[in-house]
Chain A
Amino acid sequence: MRVWLAMKCFFNVLLHGEFANRCELLLKDAPLAKNQASAAAPCSPAVVSASRSDAVTLLATLQREARFVDIVNESLDGYSDAQIGAAARDVLRDCGKVLARVFALRPMLEQEEGATVQVPAHYETECYRLTGDLSREPPFAGKLMHAGWQATKCDLPTWTGSGKGALVVAPAEVQLG
């Protein structure tokens, strides 16, 4: 039972920053649990089921459909720009297709970059990052430097596997015969 709890902690610490912070406070009084958790390998058969972080699911999707993980992990030393470009062109195109399908990204603001835009009096700080002369009171008018991005949906695949595969971004491919 405790092993399972530890496993849960392990994955949650690894995948959820907020949980990790809370855990850190707890761990000052519970060094034993920490040891157990780190002892359990990700492919431990003791794991019955564990949910998977959406981050891993997204990464697995980008790898499966666009080879994203392969390309960012590959050393560029020894390749010409043309060689890198040839591979990157396909990877970028396919990454774009995944992002479009999963997030349907749209600029935060519709105006052209460089245009003058209005920032309302009660603006959300998540939506605008202001630079320059911040001494005045809102509303503001300013030059749009970057139009920003927002997801209009978040349709990630659902993972139905067991705990064993929760951290698998891409399975090993083995050719038989």
Chain B
Amino acid sequence: MIEKERSMTAKYVVGIDLGTTNCVMAYVAIETKSPQVELLEIPQLVAASTIESRPLLPSFLYLAPEHEAASGALGVPWQREMPLAVGEYARRRGAEMPDRTVAAAKSWLCHSGVDRRQPLLPEHAPPEVAKISPVSASRRYLEHLVAAWNAQFPEARLAQQYVVLTVPASFDAAARELTREAAIAAGLPESLVFLEEPQAAVYSWLVARGDEWRRDLSAGDRLLVCDVGGGTTDLTLIDVAEAGGELELRRLAVGDHLLVGGDNMDLTLAHRVAQLFAEQGVKLDAWQSVSLWHSCRDAKEALLAADAPESHRVAVLGRGSKLIGGTVTVDVQRQLAVDLLVGGFFPKCTITDRPQRRRASGFQEIGLPYQADVAITRHLAAFLAAHADGDNRSAAPTHVLFNGGVFKAAAFRALVLDRLGEWSGADKPVRELPGPRDLDFAVARGAAFYGWTKQQGGVRIRSGAARSYYVGIETAGLAIPGAPRPLRALCVVPFGMEEGTAVDVPSNEFGLVLGEPAHFRFFSSAVRQHDRPGALLPTIDEEELAETDSLETMLEAGSDDAETYVPVKFQARITELGVFELWCVSTTSDRRWKLAFSIRDDAQEAAS
């Protein structure tokens, strides 16, 4: 009811892209027939005591020492005294002061090995720095966005608007729940809706194309959304079908969460260029290395452009005010960048190749589970092969939509298209979707447009749950001392389960003890698309099932309970807002208990 009232008072749909490296906010008036999606200019600190409005808010948080914060230099228009900085200044300080700067908080949100409500970041902070949790960091970014919006729209505060927040398609239910927790704490409305980022990119393409898209795609086509951001790679397949004479889009599959992106590429190139400097007898210090990293991003885009020069000069400016005298340069050959980046990240491979599990790469940080194999093409091959139709189509896409800053380099787009063409073996080349690319802003724009179509009608992508979910059930039988009982997996949410639906999971009854916490291990799969609710997998195959945060509930005993033992079955729901819920429902009374993610316990277990 409250949600309904809210959506009636809402004037805007607001799309928020809470990115690993940048946040973007886009909006569109609800009551319009021809949606014009605008980007919000976000005021942020760009230097001490200096505020500038920019469409990108870097997802960085700088925890300033007291003497810096007390000067008021970190103030923002809506708060004079700030103990920390969010945005461009934090990003710049991050380069100089990594121990006091939180980066990539989002990647930590889906890292189920740690308690994401505990103050963990910055990872290597000195003892005097009060660390914050990945959830709190995300909340800080969102609070900044909420304040920026409210400052510009005092008559239409964000809590009263219709807000769509994007999450990676690969985020599991626990990561989504934590994102939601951060969002609500930051002041976003309870009616907040989630949308998967690759789908948002497609919606952005749809709003840009208007009705043209029905000529761009036809029934039977298959679209790959290839989203490679700063730190993550997110893959999604969408089928084009015909229903009742109308074209329909249907999300077929999503990939696993891959921690590899453009930053890895820039660092790889920077590492090699630093060697070139060393060969000249120039040793770069830490400050120069950061500067080199930024120069290498430009070098990457220049050397992998469509008409790239044979070589590109990388300069690292002197730090002191004697700029020219302190500048060192080196010429980087195009071939070197191609060998390094194409060979490393987009190597030639066949559809049967798989990512290597060996941890071999040199740029890992302890903590986050970075991909051992940075070859995006091999991850792509594994993803497409996992979703083969069985009729030898190997999930071959006919079209590709690129998203993420990495694809500003033309060579990478061409490489992905070439590989897909080789794998499909079809006569028709795999093509990029027509229309202008909007690699940095498409997700936020698409989120706003999606919210608008939900209110006003329009083409929608049919999706539902991106993964199937399983509860771990201990097998009955004689206990063997010292050995855990073997675990089976009970499917509770089928792949594709639609929002706003519930399912009673057919199974045997489970006995739960009143007054004690009930604890279940919980698994998800992006590849087992045909398991129905109640299906019992005899073993847990780690290739197919990924364990996520476990679920628990406290079964409080009522005063008139004669029994201490309740037989229950499971009921799974996905709310209209896309929130996953699992309930234990008593088979002998009308009582029920909702299971919650027990993020803390899991982390303690992992630590011990």
A74 to B280, CA, bound (A): 25
Q: Which of B50-58, B559-567, B579-587 contacts the other chain?
A: B50-58
Whether A70 contacts B321 by the Cβ 8 Å rule is: yes
Contacts of B73 in A (CB 8 A): 161
Q: Is there a chain B Cβ closer than 8 Å to A76's Cβ?
A: yes
A60 to B47, CA, bound (A): 10
Q: Is there a chain A Cβ closer than 8 Å to B591's Cβ?
A: no
Give the Cβ gap from B345 to chain A, nearest Cβ, in Å: 25
A87 to B315, CA, bound (A): 7
Contacts of A90 in B (CB 8 A): 295, 315, 317
Q: Is there a chain A Cβ closer than 8 Å to B455's Cβ?
A: no
Whether A86 contacts B315 by the Cβ 8 Å rule is: yes
Whether A158 contacts B51 by the Cβ 8 Å rule is: yes
Q: Which of B106-114, B323-331, B421-429 contacts the other chain?
A: B323-331
Highest count of chain A CB atoms <10 Å: which of B46, B49, B53: B49
**A 68-110 binary contact with B (CB < 8 Å = 1; else 0):** 0011011010010001101111110100000001000000000
Whether B324 contacts A158 by the Cβ 8 Å rule is: no
Whether A64 contacts B47 by the Cβ 8 Å rule is: yes
Contacts of A73 in B (CB 8 A): 321
Q: Is there a chain A Cβ closer than 8 Å to B322's Cβ?
A: yes
Whether B325 contacts A79 by the Cβ 8 Å rule is: yes
Within 8 Å by CB of A159, from B50, B315, B323, lies B50
Tell me whether chain B's interface is mostly helix, strand or loop, or mixed. mixed
Whether A70 contacts B52 by the Cβ 8 Å rule is: no
Contacts known (A157-B46, A171-B48); A74 close to B315, Cβ less than 8 A:
no
Contacts of A71 in B (CB 8 A): 323-324
Give the Cβ gap from A65 to chain B, nearest Cβ, in Å: 9
Contacts of B52 in A (CB 8 A): 155-158
Whether B313 contacts A158 by the Cβ 8 Å rule is: no
Q: Is there a chain B Cβ closer than 8 Å to A57's Cβ?
A: yes
Whether B327 contacts A74 by the Cβ 8 Å rule is: no
Q: Is there a chain A Cβ closer than 8 Å to B75's Cβ?
A: yes
Give the Cβ gap from A83 to chain B, nearest Cβ, in Å: 6
Contacts of A89 in B (CB 8 A): 313, 315
Contacts of A155 in B (CB 8 A): 52-53
Whether A74 contacts B50 by the Cβ 8 Å rule is: no
Whether A57 contacts B50 by the Cβ 8 Å rule is: yes
Whether B48 contacts A161 by the Cβ 8 Å rule is: yes
A156 to B329, CA, bound (A): 32
Contacts of B72 in A (CB 8 A): 160-162
Highest count of chain A CB atoms <10 Å: which of B47, B52, B54, B313: B47
- With both beta carbons as reference points, the residue of chain A lying nearest to B92 in the complex is identified as A64
Whether B313 contacts A86 by the Cβ 8 Å rule is: yes
**B 228-256 binary contact with A (CB < 8 Å = 1; else 0):** 00000000000000000000000000000
Give the Cβ gap from A176 to chain B, nearest Cβ, in Å: 11
Contacts of A93 in B (CB 8 A): 298
Contacts of A171 in B (CB 8 A): 48
Residues of A in contact with B (beta carbons under 8 Å apart): 57, 60-61, 64, 67, 70-71, 73-74, 76, 79, 83-84, 86-91, 93, 101, 155-162, 165, 171, 173
